[in-house]
Amino acid sequence: MVDWPQADTITFESATDLADRRVPRRRRYSGRTDRITARDLFIAADCLAFLAAYLVVALPYTSAATAGHRFGDAFAFWAAAPVWFLGAKIAGLYDRADQHPGHSTLDDLGRIFQLSIVAVWASAIALWLSTGSENVPAELSFWAVMATCLVAGRVVARTAVRRHAGFAQNTIIIGAGEVGQLVGRKIAQHPEFGLRLVGFVDADPKEMRGDLRDFPVLGSPTDMESLVRRHQVDRAIVAFSNDHHDLLVELVGELRELNVQIDLVPRLFEAVGPVAGLHLVEGMPLVGLPPLQHSRIARGAKRAFDVVLASVALVLVSPLFAYVALRIKRDSSGPVFFRQERLGEGQRPFTVLKFRTMFIDTDDAPHRDYIRKIMDSGALPNENSLYKLERPNDITPFGLWLRRTSIDELPQLLNVLRGEMSLVGPRPCLSYETELFEPHHFHRFLVPAGMTGLWQVAARAHATMKEALDLDVAYARNWSLGLDLWVLARTPLSLLRGGDTT
């Protein structure tokens, strides 16, 4: 028997101590237990959608089948369910709503219809394998009802969960400098994102801007674990901080161990647009920005798209044009249309058309002064939390309704047909506004001005003039037909929230 030296003997206790030293203890905090997640409701809504499709389409078809085929028919239709749920999980349809604030059902629409088609194909194959027959009308009806119920269920689930206080994510911002406070202002002004701002974390914070004084600096990043536990933090947004790079990387790792959702504000966030891509070079993530120049084919497709949709829209809204014209004439003296020189693509001037909403001979000096005021990113909103000039004495009674609904913008469909504007693009600006532009703001003139745009659907009157211009520049730098479709799809939702686009 070998007598091992005492110095080389490892006891059970010493091995445990060694493991404790080498492996960090797993933190017990796993997030709030009382918060409702969209994921859970989406799964429930999808189950109800499949049940509804089965009861409406598949059950009558199965009941009419012969006794030997009934079980096979029922199995075939339910075969679509596991395909859908697996595909939806892989595509991120259950997690994206909780991870990405402001995400809507419109953003998932394409994936929903693609996956529903794949699920129905699975059902059709299962039907053929189990019964040796196929029923195209039944499968098409099953797909139509299922897809409709999937979309409707998600809309209802998302609406219900956002109205419930338990949905909001307790959010902290790491970094209380200019960028961190800008993020805080945007969160505070957009409760529909489902983020409840708890406060800031910064060892050396900048003086807090006026509209954020109700949100305290909670402490230093060195106190992160206790802050997360004390305030039950669900999400942390890492804005620019004075802390060293290595410390921030360690902090992010600590937050991930605490089961906190993390958002990183990129250093050049002004240049990163909505269609920026992410790719890897030996594991290092790089953000790809598309070139500014667009092909003639892309520009031609955009123009054709504008002409077709503007023509159809003009035909559809022509009765509304007549009604609005009569009301404007009855409401106040003056012309039906308001004409004003604006700057379009390449800074070329053109005459924009709008329904008149103000009394004639109204002075534009207040608007000039207000534009100069809100060009400062630190400008405070009005009492209504909007960056919008209130001129109740200058706007006609009917004009107030036209502005609230944005119907006053509809005559710009004629500008689109004349090639002076596009359906989607930067807001057509006034010449005196360019006196306040920073050099990069002139990139907005690389594309035609639009009736609606990224600024209108992302912020509307909740943004300062500088922030609105930055969004216009982001659109011009990242334009694509897909982005145009996305903006057009979200425009009606933005109109329902209200706000002036003038």
Task: Report whether 238 contacts 174 (CB < 8 A).
Answer: yes
Predicted local confidence at residue 259, as pLDDT: 86
Q: Tell me how many helices (H) and strands (E) the chain has.
A: 18, 11
Predicted local confidence at residue 416, as pLDDT: 96
- Comparing 9-18, 191-200, 453-462, the range with the smallest average pLDDT is 9-18
Average pLDDT taken over every residue of the chain:
79
User: How many CB atoms lie under 10 A from the CB of residue 379?
Assistant: 18
Contacts of 429 (CB under 8 A, 6+ apart): 342, 343, 444, 449
Region 387-396: what's the mean pLDDT?
A: 72
pLDDT(303) > 90: yes
Contacts of 59 (CB under 8 A, 6+ apart): none
The angle that helices 105-131 and 80-91 make with each other, rounded to 10 degrees, is 150
pLDDT(20) > 70: no
3-state SS, residue 435: helix
Q: HEC profile for 472-500? A: HHHHHHHCCHHHHHHHHHHHHHHHHHCCC
The number of C-alpha atoms within 13 Å of 85 and in the hemisphere containing its C-beta is 15
pLDDT tens digits for range 237-254: 998 766 677 788 888 888
Q: 0.75 exceeded by the pTM?
A: no
Confidence of residue 326 (pLDDT cuts 50, 70, 90): very high
The pairing of strands 284-288 and 277-281 is antiparallel
The number of C-alpha atoms within 13 Å of 100 and in the hemisphere containing its C-beta is 11
Task: Report whether 215 contacts 184 (CB < 8 A).
Answer: yes
Identify the H or E element spanning 103.
Answer: none
The angle that helices 481-497 and 296-331 make with each other, rounded to 10 degrees, is 20
pLDDT(330) > 80: yes
Quote the CA–CA distance of 26 and 256 in Å, as a whole number: 11
Structure tokens at 135: 């029923």
DSSP character string of 161-213: HHTSGGGPEEEEEE--SHHHHHHHHHHHH-GGG-EEEEEEE-SSPPPPPGGGT
pLDDT tens digits for range 421-440: 999 999 898 888 888 888 88
Task: Report whether 461 contacts 468 (CB < 8 A).
Answer: no
Which whole-number Å values give the CA distances from 391 to 76, 366, 396, 428, 464, in the listed order? 63, 9, 10, 21, 18
Contacts of 162 (CB under 8 A, 6+ apart): 192, 194
Predicted local confidence at residue 2, as pLDDT: 42
Quote the CA–CA distance of 124 and 79 in Å, as a whole number: 9
φ and ψ of 283, to 5 deg: 85, -10
pLDDT tens digits for range 108-142: 888 888 888 888 888 888 777 766 666 677 778 88
Confidence of residue 381 (pLDDT cuts 50, 70, 90): low
Predicted local confidence at residue 69, as pLDDT: 52
Quote the CA–CA distance of 132 and 125 in Å, as a whole number: 10
The pairing of strands 337-343 and 349-355 is antiparallel
Contacts of 137 (CB under 8 A, 6+ apart): none
Contacts of 132 (CB under 8 A, 6+ apart): none
Which residue spans within 228-383 are E strands per DSSP? 235-238, 261-264, 277-281, 284-288, 337-343, 349-355
3-state SS, residue 392: coil
Quote the CA–CA distance of 140 and 143 in Å, as a whole number: 5
Whose CA is closest to 472, among 426, 438, 421, 424?
A: 426
More confident residue, 411 or 268: 411
Quote the CA–CA distance of 312 and 413 in Å, as a whole number: 10
Predicted local confidence at residue 241, as pLDDT: 63
* Tokens 């598309």, residue located: 290
DSSP character string of 289-301: ---S---HHHHHH
pLDDT tens digits for range 253-289: 888 888 888 888 887 777 776 767 777 787 788 888 7
